[in-house]
Structure 1
């Protein structure tokens, strides 16, 4: 089989139909397959998906769900020479996928290739910041990157050379960690100037989403990546290229310095804390070009530094371990109506 498209999802009943339809449109061009890796959803995601001619594998242990586990489960069950990863709230651009296949066929030294992510829900501060970051990426002329955030097309031979697709222990940054392993082993990654997916992110209040990410462990991803790299050839690359680690270490250092000063000189310590917070808000507001986004970023950094320490101490399982799951029965292609393969955007 030439192409496998893996969709990882958790409670995506609102978006999963369009996501699957767009993936099927691409897979059918290459006689490929679509695999939904469901992380034990509690809504109608699986029921909706089961009406499509795809393979559905559902994680057996809900407590093991994570971004890394979902991605690895999809890859674990795939068969294609090339593997495309996307989320259940994304719509895949068919033309971009064809360009990616052409690129990898012409450039054997590249392990993977991706494109831009078009954020369509900008009601939260996080996704506004993501959209601005995506605009900044377009300003660079280099196609070589250190990760394929938002999914991309990977060469199976490259993945097999580094052992596994995604570290199932990771709550986040699983594609960054994969990129670190691939680049350390001599492969390259590319990002083309084309919209790969349209992303329908969360539309809940900004600080509610931030707190949810903290409580769920998603915010611990940077700490988990840091711990996973200790003693590995990827360590220096991870510390150098993952900004969240630098931010977390900076905040932790500032906090320890504040505590030390406060212990010796209480009022001076308080003044130091106020000065640090004020400086942080000014710098981040200037960078984000918004006071509101600056304050949000500072709060995110503080919570992120706490989560970093938590992630660095998070228990790990063997990343080579086979993820237990159950297969879900789906419709056969001949049972479907002609319209079921279309994508209503």
Structure 2
């Protein structure tokens, strides 16, 4: 077992639990969790109980404020797993103190702030990793490699699910807190459009509203259709819906090049490859993708070598810019050009 790596969690919700479970399975890396910070004390205590069940000798502590936590505990790296509206203070502390950090998507809602932080990160050459875990999948990597020689012509994806639960105070259905489904959830598909098809040039979008009713604080779209013109000349479309209670939706991305088609389906992004004149080839998606992603990040912190990281903070900023442009196209009814 190598040297000890101290990790602190800013945020203690469901995605923090997913990363904690993954880290606890990486026994060969000698990761020591030193603290959890969340305004919800019960969430913090729940994560601490889970940690103690696996590591009874832990001396990790709970805090209500992430910056105060980082002033009190040892942290070689930080997991920033907070809601979209809460980004900024923890990232700034990590940048100022040169602490490598993993940040979950979306990395914020304020594009001006994200650009400012991205510039500071680049100036300090700070190691960062953003939570676009699908980039680590074998099928995604195989498709990306092939598409370098036979580029995508058309990409078509979607994220179709049921209506949000009627939970008073939930931030997810409140657009000013979550950014809406495009920014908070379908962002994974938008990110893969970029990763496999290249950067976007222009975005068009329309949305459906008024179907979901009686959900406290609900201000997001019920569904949207986004069309994207890529710099390569290819085009893409991404459908999103959070009102499909009868089922039959799911997650998918189909990528069509001239001589090959890549059909990804399901949360695990299992892949069927179709090549002209050949039998179909199936590549199963990885169920343990958080372990794979977290191993890459933690190894990068241990070695100081971030070359295996597939999405940095600055790269994730480009995905945020794309999804915010889709929101702007919905709100204005006009196409949005990207930088």
TM range (shorter): under 0.3
Greater fraction helix: 1
Q: For CA contacts below 8 A with separation 6 or more, give which structure has more relative contact order.
A: 1
Q: Look at both structures and tell me which one has the larger radius of gyration over its CA atoms.
A: 1
* TM-score calculated relative to the size of structure 1: 0.28
Higher strand share: 2
Q: TM-score normalised to the size of structure 2?
A: 0.28
